[in-house]
Amino acid sequence: MSYTTGKDSFGVSLWETALSKAIKIVTKATEEDKKENYEEALKLYEEAAGLFCRAIKYEAQNDKAKESIRVKCIQYIERAEKLRKYLNSEKKPSKGEDEEEGVLSANLKQLQIDVLRSEKRKNKAGI
């Protein structure tokens, strides 16, 4: 972590919300996953999942937002579990799992849209 720039090793501002940090970290996780750098992807998915959980607990403003974050979080946890099993068994993930990467990317984009909508609502409400 660099205190001179106020950013950690992922380029995330130290003052960002848990949700925005989670999104940046899970983006990096999916990139590492696509590069077949599974150990790093696993670590990043797990870190992002923890931040998503924190966002659900402390940042989500309503039940719909909490559920949206929860659904995405579960998907990333499931991918992390598949990677963990692969790394423990040293088998290559199947092609079906490669298709899931595309689904994860689409889900990440949807999460980003949901977050932006939530932030716009907060701004309109003066929060």
* Phi, psi dihedrals of residue 7, rounded to the nearest 5°: -130, 150
Q: What is the pLDDT of residue 2?
A: 42
The answer as to whether 100 is a domain residue is yes
The answer as to whether 93 is a domain residue is yes
The answer as to whether 34 is a domain residue is yes
Q: How many CA atoms lie within 13 A of 20 on its CB side?
A: 10
The answer as to whether 6 is a domain residue is no
Cβ pair 107, 118 in contact under 8 A: no
Can you give the residue range of the structural domain that contains 51?
Answer: 18-119
Q: What is the pLDDT of residue 78?
A: 92
The rounded distance, in Å, linking the Cα atoms of 82 and 97 is 9
The answer as to whether 5 is a domain residue is no
Q: What is the pTM of this model?
A: 0.62
Which pair of tokens denotes residue 117? Answer: 């909508």
Query: What is the full per-residue pLDDT of the chain (127 aa) written as tens digits?
Result: 444 444 555 554 445 788 999 999 999 999 999 999 999 999 999 999 999 988 888 888 888 988 999 999 999 999 999 999 999 887 555 555 555 555 555 666 666 666 666 666 666 666 5
Which pair of tokens denotes residue 119? Answer: 């932030």
CATH code of the domain covering residue 44: 1.20.58.80
- Residue 75's nearest CA partner among 118, 108, 51, 47 is 108
The answer as to whether 108 is a domain residue is yes
The answer as to whether 124 is a domain residue is no
Q: How many domains does the chain have?
A: 1
Q: What is the pLDDT of residue 61?
A: 85
The answer as to whether 84 is a domain residue is yes
